[in-house]
Amino acid sequence: MIGPVAATPRAHHRRVRPLACRAVTGYLKRLLATAAAYQVADLVSKPIAVFLLPVYTRHLSRADYGTAELLAAAVIFLSILVRLGIGEAFVRYHYEERDPAARDALARRATLFLLATSTVVAALLAALSAPLSELVLGYEDQSLLLVAVLGLWAFSNLELAYALLRVEERKRAYAVASVTNVLLTVALTVWLVVFRGEGARGLLLGNYAASTAVLLGLWWTLRHRLRPQGGEAHGLATLLRFGLPTVPADASVFALNLVDRWYLYHAKGAATAGLYSLAVKLAGLVVFAVRGFQYAWPPLAYSVADDAEARRVYAFVTTYYVLVTGLVVAGLALLGRWLVRLLAAPAFFDAYQALPWVALGWALYGLFLIFVVIAGRAKVTTRNFPAALVGLVANVVLLVLLVPPLGIAGAGVALAGAYVVMLGVMRLLTRGLFAVAFQWRRIAHVVVVCTVCAVAGELLLPTAGVVGLLARAATLALVPAILVVTRFFRPEEVARLRALVRDGRGRLSAARG
């Protein structure tokens, strides 16, 4: 009996590729769903922020805004040090524990350890708040530093509490907690800044008081997982062995978002730092995408058990991440002036100069997260730090060279340049750990189209008025059209996208019926 004829490599490729595409787009759909759920708070907060930014910028001086944003960035930076990588280790080892009791034990161990360390550090900083304010701000303001210390304690513990929800993909609970945090923050901040006139102190206290309340509520909600009970899990030493090597890298990476504000604050003044901080705030569309990706990507990436499938997923997600963030960065480059006019007081208009560069820096940070997960999958986290350190050094050098002639635009260019350097080093250090065949030609395709449209629009089109706005919006609309005409999208991807759209319409119709 003659068996089936073996398929040629080309025929095999034709038969398997649609199946692989369906599997990969399934992961993409799951990534988008979880990222959207984790960003529900931003979906609520962004429209509110649009309404309130003109209010805040009229009740805060540029110096007040710069001071508040400098301390907020410092809180996040110190939180990375205080957490000691426990959150990253918890997410990584959660998927190795199959027994629910063991997973609860892991959650309890991580939470109690972080509570202890953050409380000790907060107590020490509170005792030194007066001299610390002199060091950080150049003048003594003990009460402002105490608010920042509260923020450090609350933010550090809240990040781990959110991680407990994310690893189980409890999207609804996460959305409720994060939206509650947003609404409380808005209410308290408006009261403190607008009605009480508390300035920078009110901007920070509204945020951190709300975070503290949500943290206590989450601990109560998760009490069944955190109370003492049976279950064996990875020990604290194992968690720290994985987590501690990530701290220098994470701290160095975030230092890129602190050192620029610190340099501007002390070299150019608090008002200039306030302009730059507003540019960071207005880059929110990119920040929104990157934060959703940051929260959803590691759990998804680690959950793909098969290495061959993981390689396909990583490559595919990277390509489409570049596509989405590239469109947003091009949009901010073309339309940034109008965005600043709409959302800020006239005194803050010059913030547009740094806006596209800051947005590009945030987009590049999301790409760095992909390589961090690659190293984490191989359980080799020591490679992250050299790349982050080289990026930090590059940022400092570029700040010193570019800020004097270019101002806040120079700080934005320095940030983006530092991420480019860091990505190059990280690629070299991780390529031997877990080989991923990135779709370099398609990535270059997106980058070239977005860059050409953005640069041409900036050089050739008006910078004010309705005509300029419409012409630049039309240029942005050309980007996806050019990608379609130049065959960026593969036929199987288009087919799957259409199927997903039909599926979404069907579910919407069923819900309405």
277 and 177 fall within a common domain? no
Query: Does the residue 47 lie in any domain?
Result: no
Look at residue 382 and tell me whether its pLDDT is greater than 70. Answer: no
Place of tokens 């994470």: 250
- At residue 5, the pLDDT reads 31
Asked if residues 185 and 207 have their Cβ atoms less than 8 Å apart, the reply is yes
Element (H, E) at 98: none
Confidence of residue 356 (pLDDT cuts 50, 70, 90): very high
Higher-scoring residue by pLDDT: 288, 441: 441
Q: 8: pLDDT confidence band, cut at 50, 70 and 90? A: very low
45 pLDDT higher than 50: yes
| Residue 335 and residue 383 share a domain | yes
Among 243, 266, 293, residue at a domain's last position = 243
Taking the alpha carbons of 277, 283, 284, 288 in that order, is the dihedral positive or negative?
Answer: negative
CA atoms within 13 Å, Cβ hemisphere of 146: 6
- The pLDDT, as a whole number, for residue 40 is 57
pLDDT at position 438 is: 85
| 332 and 413 belong to one structural domain | yes
CB 39 within 8 A of CB 290: no
368 belongs to a structural domain = yes
Residue 250 has a pLDDT of 77
Query: Are both 226 and 278 inside the same structural domain?
Result: no
Mean pLDDT, all residues of the chain = 81
Q: Is the dihedral of CA 184, 185, 189, 190 positive or negative?
A: negative
**Structural domain includes residue 8:** no
Whether residue 102 is contained in a domain is answered as: yes
Q: Region 182-196: what's the mean pLDDT?
A: 89
With the CA atoms of 237, 241, 244 and 246 taken in that order, what torsion angle do they form, in degrees rounded to the nearest 10?
-150
If one compares 331 and 380, the residue with the highest pLDDT of the two is 331
Q: Are residues 259 and 384 in the same domain?
A: yes
- Regarding whether 205 and 94 lie in a shared domain, the answer is yes
Which domain range does residue 217 map to? Answer: 85-243
Residue 381 near residue 249, CB atoms below 8 Å? yes
281 and 296 part of one domain: yes
Average pLDDT over residues 262-270: 90
Same domain, 236 and 254: no
The reported pLDDT for the residue numbered 435 is 78
Answer left, alpha or beta for residue 306, where phi above 0 means left and psi between -120 and 50 means alpha: beta
Which residues, 6 or more positions from 337, have their beta carbon under 8 angstroms from its beta carbon?
349, 352, 463, 464
Q: What angle do CA 147, 70, 270 make, to 5 degrees?
A: 115
Band of pLDDT at residue 333, cut at 50, 70 and 90: very high
pLDDT of residue 11: 37
Structure token digits, residue 265: 């604050």
pLDDT at 295: 64
State the amino acid at position 378 in one-letter form: A
pLDDT at 209 over 90: yes
Quick one: which of 160, 164, 165, 125 has its CA closest to 145?
Answer: 125
Angle at 200 between CA 197 and CA 202, to 5 degrees: 55
Cα atoms in the 13 Å half-sphere on the side-chain side of 241? 8
Please state the rounded mean pLDDT for residues 368-373. Answer: 81
Mean pLDDT of 44-63: 71
Average pLDDT over residues 227-251: 73
| 145 neighbors 128 (Cβ within 8 angstroms) | no
Averaged over 6-29, what is the pLDDT?
A: 46
Mean pLDDT confidence for 50-57:
70
Q: How confident is the model at residue 308 (pLDDT cuts 50, 70, 90)?
A: confident
What is the structure's pLDDT at 6?
34
Domain count, the chain: 2
Q: Is the alpha carbon torsion for 439, 444, 447, 453 positive or negative?
A: negative
pLDDT of res. 19: 42
Both 35 and 141 in a single domain?
Answer: no
User: In terms of DSSP H, where are the helices of 268-354?
Assistant: 270-282, 284-303, 307-343
| Residue 116 DSSP class | H
Residue 88 CB partners (closer than 8 Å, separation 6+) = 242, 243, 246, 250, 298, 376, 381
In angstroms, the CA 254 to CA 272 distance is 20
> What pLDDT band is residue 234 in, cutting at 50, 70 and 90?
low
Q: Are residues 173 and 202 in the same domain?
A: yes
Question: Tens of pLDDT along 408-448?
Answer: 999 999 999 999 998 888 888 877 777 788 889 999 999 99
Q: How would you class 171 by CB atoms within 10 Å of its CB: exposed for 0-12, middle for 13-18, buried for 19 or more?
A: middle
Q: Is the pLDDT of residue 468 over 80?
A: yes
Contact predicate 419/255, CB 8 Å: no
Q: Is the pLDDT of residue 99 over 70?
A: yes
Assign 16 a pLDDT band (cuts: 50, 70, 90): very low
Least confident segment among 120-129, 259-268, 329-338, 340-349:
340-349
Picking from 199, 227, 243, the residue at the C-terminal end of a domain is 243
Last residue of a domain, one of 243, 273, 301: 243
User: Would 175 be classed as within a structural domain?
Assistant: yes
> Is there a single domain that holds both residue 155 and residue 286?
no
Average pLDDT of the residues in 361-376: 82
Cα distances (angstroms) measured from residue 485 to each of 292, 453, 479: 30, 15, 10
Same domain, 391 and 451: yes
For residues 368 and 425, give the distance between their C-alpha atoms in angstroms, rounded to a whole number.
Answer: 10
Residue 456: predicted pLDDT: 94
CB atoms within 10 A of CB 401: 14
Of the pLDDT bands very low, low, confident and very high (cuts 50, 70, 90), residue 9 is: very low
Per the model's pLDDT, the better-predicted residue between 432 and 34 turns out to be 432
Q: Which of 123-127, 174-178, 414-418 has the lowest mean pLDDT?
A: 174-178
185 touches 202 (CB < 8 A): no
Average pLDDT over residues 159-178: 81
Lowest mean per-residue pLDDT among 64-68, 204-208, 287-291, 477-481? 287-291
Average pLDDT over residues 127-147: 89
The answer as to whether 506 is a domain residue is no
Return the minimum-mean-pLDDT range out of 100-114, 122-136, 266-280, 487-501. Answer: 487-501
Q: Is residue 107 part of a domain?
A: yes
pLDDT band at 121 (very low <50, low <70, confident <90, very high): very high
Question: Which pLDDT band holds residue 7 (cuts at 50, 70, 90)?
Answer: very low
Asked if residue 493 is part of any domain, the answer here is: yes
